[in-house]
Structure 1
Amino acid sequence: MFTGLVQKKGVFVKLAGDGGAAVAEIACEPWEDDPLVKGESVAVQGACLTVVGISSGGFTADVLEETLACTNLRRLRRGDPVNLERALRLSDRLGGHIVAGHVDGTGEIVAIARRGRDYAVRIRCRPEEARYIVRKGSVAIDGISLTVSDVPAADAFEVCIIPTTWQETSLGARSVGDAVNLETDILARYLEKLAAGGPSAGSGLTLDKLLGAGF
């Protein structure tokens, strides 16, 4: 589990493997006070990967075929910046929102505009993701926890990026037409399933009860 607060900006080196699963090589500065260990989870562009090798200049991680199919990792080129976040400790602050590292799919950047010091980014997404995206709600874009500032269309939403986030994450290198990894709010998905199950699911939770409680 992660929070969507990027800890380091690494550099994509290569993706080795044919057909199915692969191994990704990432270059980054080491975590000096708390070094990486084999077997731990690191979110790379928002995708939870398992570390299988460590060097002084970075690490390698296994990438499942399913991960390659639903993320933008296969589209990365050597030298591209990537967002890195290690798994959350129970004692850590939850500064962003609950991010599982299980990317739902990719969206497409359709517009980038300056708004004063900030950047407004509009992203087109599939209906599967759009249904869980609401104004002022949370969404993870390439592993970054962001607040939805607007939902101008059924298949699009906007986020506003402060200069620090723009400079210290991979978003600053993005252009119109690029694909970004999207993970919607997992709590919304659980609530939807519980509400759909209703009393038969044993919870007694219904959509009417959620609406009555202010959700």
Structure 2
Amino acid sequence: MFTGLVDDVGLIERVEETEAGREFRIRSRYTGLVEGESIACDGVCLTVRGFGATEDGSWFTVAAVVPTLGRTALGRWTEGRRVNLERAMRAGDRLGGHLVQGHVDGVGIVRAVERQGDAWLIDVDVPAEIDPLLVPHGSITIDGVSLTVNALPAPGVLQLSIIEYTHRHTTLGLRQPGDPVHVEADMIGKHVQRLLAPYLASLSRV
């Protein structure tokens, strides 16, 4: 479980195909890692396979299997890419963002980026299955960052308002129109949708 509060931005140093899947070696400032722990990489919960340190800092490796590659943009990641990182929360930690599982629901595409006063407005085209879960001023996770839905300007379009701190401390400041982003809808909304599905289906048959 995560909170969507990014605590480091890592750098992909190496990408290779291994028996474990598509493996990424990521440079970060993390210390005290253990094999098997979870780290959200651009919002994707991945398992630490190895770690170490060099004169330039610390690194760890994670791998993505075929199902993960199929529902995320990890297959497009290359060396030199910067990624948002967050270690799994511990019981007793402050929940400063919202409950995030690191289970990406789909890949959105940045439609527009506009500076407006002291904020950056980012419009994102989202997959059709995510659109019903969006609520104005509700929670959404984009590339692992806990954010608030600023507006829903059109069907299938989500607007974000990025403050200066988030713009500077995450990779969202690098996003441009056409870029893919990982989208995870609010977990509570997904459970409510699932619980209501049989009731709504019965109404449609009346």
The alignment's TM-score, normalised by the length of structure 2, stands at 0.90
> Superposition RMSD on alpha carbons, in Å?
1.8
How far the C-alpha of 1:197 sits from its partner, in A, is: 3.8
How far the C-alpha of 1:23 sits from its partner, in A, is: 1.4
How far the C-alpha of 1:175 sits from its partner, in A, is: 1.0
Which residue of the partner structure matches residue 52 of structure 1?
A: 49
Distance across 2 between alignment mates of 1:152 and 1:19? 44
Identify unmatched segments of 5+ residues in structure 2: none
Q: Could you say what secondary structure the match of 2:92 adopts? A: coil
| Distance 1:19-1:30 versus aligned 2 partners, 3 A rule | closer
Which residue of the partner structure matches residue 26 of structure 1?
A: 26
Q: 1:119-150 CA distances to partner (integer Å, 9 max, x unpaired)?
A: 00000011111111111111100000000000
Distance across 1 between alignment mates of 2:90 and 2:123? 32
Distance across 1 between alignment mates of 2:66 and 2:162? 31
Deviates more, 1:64-73 or 1:150-159: 64-73
Q: 1:137-174 CA distances to partner (integer Å, 9 max, x unpaired)?
A: 11100000000000011110101001111111111111
Amino-acid identity (%): 40
Code of the residue aligned with 1:159 in structure 2: it is: L
Q: Could you say what secondary structure the match of 2:166 adopts? A: helix
Distance across 2 between alignment mates of 1:118 and 1:16? 38
How do 1:1-215 and structure 2 match up within 5 A?
A: 1-17=1-17, 21-31=21-31, 35-56=32-53, 57-197=58-198
Code of the residue aligned with 2:47 in structure 1: it is: T
| Distance 1:127-1:148 versus aligned 2 partners, 3 A rule | same
How far the C-alpha of 1:19 sits from its partner, in A, is: 10
Identify unmatched segments of 5+ residues in structure 1: 199-205, 208-215
Instruction: Count matched residues.
Output: 197
Q: Could you say what secondary structure the match of 2:29 adopts? A: coil
Code of the residue aligned with 1:85 in structure 2: it is: E
The alignment's TM-score, normalised by the length of structure 1, stands at 0.87
Distance across 2 between alignment mates of 1:146 and 1:92? 19
Distance across 2 between alignment mates of 1:194 and 1:126? 21
Does structure 2 retain, via aligned residues, the 8 Å contact 1:81–1:173?
A: no
Q: Which has the higher strand share?
A: 2
